[in-house]
Structure 1
Amino acid sequence: MRAVIRKMIGKLVISVGGLPLQIKLIAAYIGVILVPVVLFSIYTFQQLYNNTLLEMTRKNEFALDSELKDILNNMEIMERTAQLAVSDRAVLNYLTSSRELEAEELVNFNMNTFPNLQHLLYSNPKVSHIRLFTNNPHVKEIWPVIFREERIYDKHWLPKVSARNGMTWWEIYSGPEDILRTGEAGSLEQASYISLLREVQAAEGVKGGIVQIDMELEDFSPKTFGSLQNGESRMLVFSRDGEAYFHPDSILPGSITAVAVREQLRMHAGSKRGSIRFSIKGQPYLGLYRTIDGPDVYLVNVVSLEPVLSDIRGRRNQLVVIVVVLIAFLSLISYGLHALILRQLTTLRDSMKQAHEGNFTVRIPVYGQGEIAELARHFRRMLSKIKELIAEAVEKQAAAKEAELNSLKNQIDSHFLYNTLENLKMMAEVQGQYPLSDALTSLGSMMRYSFQWSADFVTLADELRHIRNYMALMNIRYDDRLRLEVNVPEELLAHSVLKMSLQPIVENAVKHGWKPEHVGKKQFTVRIQAGKHDGSLHILITDNGTGMPEWRLNEVNAALRTGDEELQRPMDAASRSSTQGIGLRNVQKRIRLHCGEDYGIHVDSRQGSSTTVHMVLPQNILAKGGDQDDQAADCG
């Protein structure tokens, strides 16, 4: 997956890279304006939406809490009415009478006690019914308050009221206003009520009956069943059975149904009060709910958020249109300005194409002091420099041809010298001058080794062979006072070293470590050792010469580390003659040039005793080696 994404990004970068500069500038200009505007718009409209939602929530919560307060007040009215209805001792005596009352007693109850119950009913306009039900056979029904309990035997709530032992039970139901009316159910006037139901205890263990206080739901919850609600919100009351009650002529906002609201409450309502946000058929809604203890019902206010979102979307779309029109207008202006600014750059591009085709005499018009004008001037200078370099290259090519001819001539001269030395060697052998013959052999080998420079690296065996030839020639001068000791393991002889890197060190030891005062006193010995350590090739070149003082040793090593010109002086400070040939400094520079700063040479010396040059090289084995067959090597 990542590879596919990288490939797509690569193609996009290539496609964008192929566009003209003017188009890229316009695209960048649009991006610089569009991205901040889009981010700002998203943030602004999100804040607007949140603030509007918060305001709507507060507004509808206030309405919901106001309605909840009215409901609690109505519940208190119903409870107080129920308490007053059964608190009259005469009423309880009538309900629990163990005999049928005489006519005089009935008239007295009807004239003195029953009017109190009627007054209680008519003094509370919100209370629809006050009903007392009794199963006492001695009690006569007095409409519209006192009834026989057999009239409610078919009510599903009767067992629940009886099981609560005098505790209040609330029930919501739909039914006729007058239970005394008979006829078809469809002919009865239906209404929705909330009832307070409670058993009346006349004395301990004696049931006096059941009191029922009814209040129509439109009085109980006036805002829920009122006609003044707007079309964006609607209050509902859900009973404990999940039945929804609301104004019969009202329409729920949007395309929502009471069943859908009930399901959302069932899934998301987790406390007695709160709010939920949900969507039905793509329409967003806000649901605010309160739980009413006692009736065990939900009071819900459902608010449609679609009008709010539509308004915000309208503003957003209006802003988008304005921004697009503005960007298009500004892009046209920018396109024209860029065309004027980049005109000289276009001219410069065409001139570069002509130069690419080989026309270095093209003239570039330069005007103004801007960056493009400066670029054009630099390009003109570059064309002039190219023409100079072409002429110089032609001259160098001619010089290289001449140098090649001279090299061929020198090669012919070298062969003449080799042949001459070979003839002299043969003459010395014929005359029995064998030391002279050996010296001529050594000299010829050294000349071939020095003149034939086909590569920078040779094997350690080749370099040691060259050193032996050098020591053999120097022993002719010093009457065999020089001794060379080589202690190199066989497996290291094939390792590569820089050509002419060991011989200058040995030559330096002989020239500056061997003094006339040593003649006749001791033999001058140069010892060469080699080994491997920490992945590197270590070579030690030690002599038993005069050494050097500590100050001079520090000076030499400091110069080797920094590449200072001080090493061009001889290591013996007493001598003022300049060093001839390739010195220690050049060896150090060559090693670091080919192998890196981690490699090189270091000098240790004790005055009057010895001097040791420690050389560190990378381990590398050449494919083959020999006296005259130098092989190139890579130091890694």
Structure 2
Amino acid sequence: MRKWLKRWKNMRLVNRLILMNTVLISIPLIISSWISSIGYSNSIQANVGRYQADVVREFTANTDAFMNELVLLSVTPYQSPELLNYLEQSGTNHLNGDIYDQRLLLESFVRRILVNGRVDVAGVSLLSAHARSYVELPDSPGRFAEAADQERVVPVGAEVTGKGYFAAPHSLLSDNGSTYEVFSIIRQIRSLENGRPLGTLVIDVPREALIQRIRNLESSQTSAFAMVDQQGHSIYRSDSFALTNQVLTSYRGEGTLTLDNNGQPVLLTYQTSPVTGWTVLQAVPLSVLLQDASRINQQMIWLGGLCLILSVLLSVIHSMRITRPLSRLRDSMKLVERGQFDIELPAKNMDEIGHLSRAFNMMVSRLGQLTYRLYETEIREKNAQIASLQSQINPHFLYNTLGSISMYAELEDNREIVQMTGHLSALLRYSIGGEHTDVTIEQELDHVQGYLAIQQIRYGERLSYEVHAPEEWLNCPIIRLTLQPVVENAIVHGLERGRGDVHMVITVRRETDTMQIIVQDNGPGMEEQELAEQYDKMNKGVLPEGPGGHGLVNVHRRIVLRYGQAYGLRLDNLEQGGLQVVIRIPNSA
């Protein structure tokens, strides 16, 4: 495994891209083709299932439309006040009433149902426990009911309720001795005043009327219909419907599922009628539904193979287009390693390769700039080292000499000379005796205050200063000898080249992630042209000719080279007169 992994890592990029693209294209293509084949078969099955559900729903709706006509006929007694009044009367007086009038009323009611004009009714029976009952069986004249007629006209297991109950097709023995196959709607007649049961209405319809309607609704020779009643008894069954009655009784409500019928899968759809409570079922063999799937799958395999060949070919071309610019980039990087920074790659496109080429060109350009800045930094450091070496020639001799002067001044009781030599000794030790380039703001302020103390001895009351530095910011690091050249510049321009007194304010403050040291004086300031020239010198790092003028340039360039272009010196003339110098360094406290 490691051997193959190592071989893969050492393979050429173009070969890896071609091999990887081939694998990444072929595997998903094969998997997608397999999934598509299964999905296509499932889609056909689902679509046919939805279509079959619509057919069964329409089949049930058409059957229910026929049954609703019977429901309307079963509520006919409530449209006859005379009949309701007849059924509500009870007792022997009613049984002994005028038989002729009663028969005429009942015959008129039955005749009204028989000749309704919408449904072919075979027989009507009106049964009552309190009044004379009346029956008119198929192909038989109407008559008053007898005691045995109750069991004859009401099927076994029928539910007699006020909502109406549809009894599945059953055999009915008529008065003429013939047996008729009918289905019935049975409704209990109740009083409109108190809901008391008054009787039972049974309307018989020939079974053939229902069967013929079902056959008319069958539209496909490949599908088979069946219908069962509330108890699961078969009402109708197509000749090709192969499922057993035990299976049919298991489904109520609405749904679609796949069943195994003796090794042959069958798509079964069923729906229970809300009117009759009967369930309509339709079964279609899956072999019929999926007979075209194999042919389409073969076409998809051929199409997938063609797409795979084209994809591999395009992958090879695309891999070559990717690796060719990378090869040019590799050759250019070798030239940069040799110190050649005037290279520029063509970057016309806006893709990743184009962005990479532009980034490479920008990198080479910045490398050239950084090389120049590094060269400048090295030159300045060498100059500083040379100056430091020159200033360190026998420093102990200077310290001993200053100590001797301080001792003689002490003997002569000259305190000003003692203070001046003490401050001067501290300045020399701070300037040439440090091994580190970074100090704290507190150390830098102590050094500047010693320098100002010497200048105050020299200029007397003409020079005054203030220092405002919060204690929590005194430990922030700063480059050594950053503040003293700025203070010296203010004294030179304010006292030596100006007139009057100079008051100087040194303030330390923090803004977000930047530490600022502000030096303000009330001297003559700088002209706008002079200020612009000074900015140009600081930005370019050009030292002025002759002595003087080096302080601000050196301080600014040292800060920029250390921390970047966002930091350094900023010079501004104050409105009330004087110059303000802001030293900006990172806040690293």
**TM tier relative to shorter chain:** 0.5 to 0.7
Is 1:285 the counterpart of 2:277 in the alignment? no
Q: Does 1:238 pair with 2:229?
A: yes
Q: 1:490, 1:129 → 2: CA distance?
A: 114
Among 200, 208, 211, the residue aligned to 1:221: 211
| Matched-pair contact (CA < 8 Å) for 1:557–1:602 | no
Contact 2:489 2:551 in 1 (8 A): no
Gaps of 5+ in 2: 1-8, 77-94, 100-110, 189-198, 261-265, 341-379
- Please state how far the C-alpha of 1:234 moved relative to its aligned partner: 0.5
1:23 matched to 2:13: no
Q: Among residues 471, 484, 487, which one is paired with 2:467 in the alignment?
A: 487
* Corresponding position of 2:551: 582
Alpha-carbon spacing, 1:312–1:580, altered in 2? closer, same or farther (3 Å):
farther
Specify the alignment match of 2:394 in structure 1. 417
User: Closer, same or farther in 2 for the Cα pair 1:133/1:142, shift >3 Å?
Assistant: farther
**Aligned equivalents of 2:245 and 2:298: distance in 1?**
27
Match of 1:379 in 2: 330
Check conservation: 2:187, 2:200, Cα contact below 8 A: yes
> Is the contact made by 1:172 and 1:195 (CA closer than 8 Å) also made in structure 2?
yes
Question: d(CA) in 2 for partners of 1:211 and 1:447?
Answer: 130
Change (3 A) 1:230 1:453: farther
Task: Identify if the C-alpha distance between structure 1 residues 42 and 471 changes in structure 2 by more than 3 Å, giving closer, same or farther.
Answer: farther
- Of the candidates 521, 531, 543, which is equivalent to residue 521 of structure 2? 543
CA contact (8 A) 1:49 1:312 kept: no
Q: How does 1:417-496 map to 2 (within 5 A)?
A: 417-425=394-402, 428=405, 442=423, 445-451=426-432, 454-471=435-452, 480=460, 483-488=463-468, 491=471, 493-496=474-477
Kept after mapping to 2: 8 A contact 1:71/1:221: no
User: Is 1:149 paired with 2:146?
Assistant: yes
Corresponding letter in the other structure for 1:420: F
Q: Relative to structure 1, is the Cα distance of residues 157 and 529 closer, same or farther in structure 2, using a 3 angstrom cutoff?
A: same
Q: How many residues align?
A: 482
Q: Which amino acid aligns with 2:290?
A: S
Q: What are the Cα deviations for residues 157-195 of structure 1, in whole angstroms up to 9, with x where unaligned?
A: 39999x999x998644533656787xxxxxxx9874224
Measured in 1, the distance between the counterparts of 2:389 and 2:429 equals 13
Partner residue, 2:182: 193
Query: Residue 250 of structure 2 corresponds to which residue in structure 1?
Result: 260
Distance 1:503 1:129, change over 3 A: closer
2:483 is the counterpart of 1:508: no
Give the alignment's Cα RMSD to 1 decimal.
Answer: 6.4
Task: Provide the C-alpha distance between the structure 1 equivalents of 2:280 and 2:60, rounded to a whole number of angstroms.
Answer: 8
Summarize the Cα distance change of 1:473–1:546 in structure 2 as closer, same or farther, 3 Å threshold. Answer: same
- Structure-2 change in CA distance of 1:380 and 1:452 (3 Å): farther
How far residue 509 of structure 1 moved from its aligned partner, in angstroms, is 0.7
C-alpha spacing 1:459/1:196, structure 2 compared with 1 (3 Å): closer
Distance of aligned partners of 1:216 and 1:25 in 2 relative to their CA distance in 1, 3 Å threshold: same
The 3-state SS of whatever aligns with 1:221 is helix
Partner Cα distance (2:503, 2:540) in 1: 27
Q: Secondary structure at the match of 2:241?
A: coil
Give the Cα–Cα distance (whole angstroms) in 1 for the partners of residues 28 and 214 of structure 2.
Answer: 53
Quote the Cα distance in structure 2 between the aligned partners of 1:381 and 1:453: 45
Is residue 44–residue 289 contact of structure 2 (8 Å, CA) maintained in 1? Answer: no
Which runs of 5 or more structure 1 residues have no equivalent in the other structure?
A: 1-13, 81-95, 101-116, 182-188, 200-208, 266-275, 346-369, 390-402, 571-575, 620-634
Structure 1 residue 196 displacement after superposition: 6.8
Distance 1:78 1:34 in 2: 64
Corresponding residue SS for 1:497? strand
**CA pair 215-557 structure 1, distance change in 2 beyond 3 A:** same
Alignment of 1:171-182 (within 5 A): 171-172=167-168, 174-175=170-171, 177=173
Corresponding residue SS for 1:149: coil
Give the structure 2 partner of residue 111 of structure 1: none
8 Å contact kept, 1:172–1:192 = no
Give the letter for the 1:245 counterpart. I
Cα-to-partner distance string for 1:55-109 (whole Å, 9 max, x where unaligned): 55565666666666777899999999xxxxxxxxxxxxxxx99999xxxxxxxxx
CA–CA distance in 2 between the matches of 1:128 and 1:461? 120
Cα deviation per residue 1:489-511 (whole Å; 9 max; x = unaligned)? Answer: 68354443332221121111112
Give the CA deviation at 1:425.
Answer: 2.9
For residues 320-399 of structure 1, what are the structure 2 equivalents within 5 Å? 321-326=301-306, 337=316, 372-383=323-334, 385-386=336-337
Flag the 1:467–1:226 CA change in 2: closer, same or farther, 3 A: closer
What is the alpha-carbon distance in structure 2 between the residues aligned to residue 302 and residue 416 of structure 1? 114
2-structure distance, mates of 1:464, 1:302: 100
Cα separation, 2, equivalents of 1:164 and 1:436: 131
Question: What SS does the aligned partner of 1:542 have?
Answer: strand
The alignment's TM-score, normalised by the length of structure 2, stands at: 0.57
SS of 2:151's equivalent in the other structure is: coil
Look up the equivalent residue of 1:376 and give its one-letter code.
S
Note if contact 1:526-1:541 (Cα within 8 Å) is conserved in structure 2.
yes
CA separation of 1:49 and 1:429: change in aligned 2, threshold 3 A: same
Q: Aligned partners of 2:73, 2:165: CA distance in 1, in Å?
A: 15
- The TM-score with structure 1 as length reference comes to 0.54
Asked whether 1:498 is paired with 2:495, we answer: no
Query: Tell me, what secondary structure is at the counterpart of 1:285?
Result: strand
CA distance in 1, matches of 2:20, 2:386: 62
Partner Cα separation in structure 2 for residue 300 and residue 261 of structure 1 = 10
Q: Which residue of 1 aligns with 2:581?
A: 613
CA contact (8 A) 1:602 1:615 kept: no
Deviation at 1:25, TM superposition (A): 1.6
- Over residues 243-288 of structure 1, what are the superposed CA-to-partner deviations in whole Å (9 max), with x where a residue is unaligned? 44124866355998331233xx2xxxxxxxxxx4332658653335
Counterparts in 2 of 1:99 and 1:39: CA distance versus 1, 3 Å: closer
Q: Is 1:194–1:216's contact at 8 Å kept on the other side of the alignment?
A: yes
When structure 1 is superposed on structure 2, of 462-471 and 37-46 the one drifting more is 37-46
Q: Tell me, in whole angstroms, the C-alpha distance in 2 between the residues paired with 1:67 and 1:590.
A: 96
Structure 2: how far apart are the matches of 1:136 and 1:310? 63
The question of whether the paired residues in 1 share the 8 Å contact of 2:456 and 2:464 is answered with: no
Letter in 2 for 1:302: Q
Compute the displacement of 1:420 (Å). Answer: 3.0
